[in-house]
Amino acid sequence: MKNIYSNIYSFDKKTLKKTIKSLNLGNIASLPTETVYGLAGNAYSNKAVSKIFKLKKRPKKNPIIIHYYDKKYIDDDVILNKYFLKLYKKLCPGPITFILKRNKKSKINSMATANLATVAIRFPRHRVLRTILKSLNYPLAMPSANISSGLSPVSSVDVYDEFKQKINIIINGGKSKIGIESTVVDLSGKPKILRPGIISSDEIKKILKMKLSKDKTNIKAPGMLKKHYSPGIPIVLGQKPKNSNQAYIFFGKKLKKRNNYFNLSKKGNLKEAAANLYKIMRKIKNAGYKKIFVSKIPNLGPGIAINDRLKRASK
Ligand code: TXA
Ligand code: MG
């Protein structure tokens, strides 16, 4: 029998070599990160970046995050500032993305940044990805490895679920520990959160020793405006299901076991709930449920990021 997952590879020296060779040719590969799986290509290559947009069916207006091994490699691409240096020191490598002004001599493909004067940069923590980044002489443009507006993948099989054999290499790096996308913080002006994540705005405030901007007039994360993170079936927030053909996602409470009931965290831990969110929504979608109901999730810490994703998914 043919192995349907023949494009999923475990990580070893041979896979590393194969992946580097493929990326050097301007091809793309799906790689694990600690947040969600990504669809990676050479950020300096027009061929690679075009492929990413095409495969994801991503709107041209939505810029992509550029991933680096560490700070040593960013000087030619972005303009550093004091906010960035403070946050980098405390939080990197880790699940946070910084928006900085683009350096005029930057070689980053302009389609990747949607022709903006800013660039989103991130330093992922996943060991496999760091080994790959260290072996390349260019950074990786890497959005989440899902068809645009859908659920982000948190395992190699999830990536397969999205793209089947349309990607040559999917590297299995285990389940993504964080399970939701990185916090995006705009540092191109007064610091401002564009996308909440596991690293909270309180944590960022504390490190910067200042209040963050609440200004909503110049939202610069175009991908954040529309319906997003959707399992493709209706989601109703703050209500219980009417029958057993509808799935119920809840949090913390001890409810009677039912097939259509899905607990984000039995312990009532919001970090664990975030890590389980996309995994459970994909499970529900693949089980054939036609509607999802979600109980109220406390809006604090990781709960802020969970509620942000749920609200957009229910649009
Ligand atoms: O955790 C993550 O960040 C994952 C993993 C794979 O690293 N990546 C990810 O990428 O979530 P993506 O493409 O799904 O989301 C990138 C977000 C989008 O909302 C996009 O609009 C925003 O970052 N973004 C990218 N460049 C930007 C820029 N120059 N200014 C404002 N927002 C930007
Ligand atoms: Mg995404």
Within 8 A by CB and 6+ apart from 23, the residues are 29, 40, 41, 42, 48, 132, 136, 140
What is the distance of C-alpha 279 from the center of its chain? 13
Residues flanking ligand 1, CB < 6 Å: 33, 35-36, 38, 62-65, 97, 99, 113, 116, 118-120, 122, 124, 142-144, 181-182, 184, 194-195, 220-224
Q: Return d(Cα 96, Cα 197) in angstroms, integer.
A: 8
Q: Return d(Cα 106, Cα 235) in angstroms, integer.
A: 42
The model carries a pTM of 0.97
Atom of ligand 1 nearest to the CA of 145: 6
Give the closest residue to 36 by CA, choosing from 234, 297, 228. 228
Q: Angle between the 201-208 and 82-91 helix axes, to the nearest 10 degrees?
A: 120
Q: Return d(Cα 115, Cα 220) in angstroms, integer.
A: 12
Instruction: State the burial class of residue 249 (Cβ atoms within 10 Å of its Cβ: 0-12, 13-18, 19+).
Output: buried
Q: Return d(Cα 218, Cα 140) in angstroms, integer.
A: 27
Within 8 A by CB and 6+ apart from 149, the residues are 226, 227, 228, 229, 230
What are phi and psi for residue 68, nearest 5 degrees?
A: -125, 160
- How far, in Å, from the CA of 251 to the mean position of ligand 1? 27
Among all bound ligands, the one having the nearest atom to the CA of 220 is: 1
Distance set, CA 118 to CA 63, 121, 221 (Å): 10, 10, 11
Residue 165: count of CB within 10 angstroms of its CB: 11
Question: Residue 86: which H helix or E strand, with range?
Answer: helix 82-91
Within 8 A by CB and 6+ apart from 119, the residues are 66, 77, 78, 99, 100, 101, 102, 106, 108, 113
Q: Angle between the 156-163 and 270-286 helix axes, to the nearest 10 degrees?
A: 40
Q: What is the pLDDT along the chain (315 residues), one digit of tens a residue?
A: 568 899 999 999 999 999 999 999 999 999 999 999 999 999 999 999 999 999 999 999 999 999 999 999 999 999 999 999 999 999 999 999 999 999 999 999 999 999 999 999 999 999 999 999 999 999 999 999 999 999 999 999 999 999 999 999 999 999 999 999 999 999 999 999 999 999 999 999 999 999 999 876 555 555 555 678 999 999 999 999 999 999 999 999 788 899 999 999 999 999 999 999 999 999 999 999 999 999 999 999 999 999 999 999 998
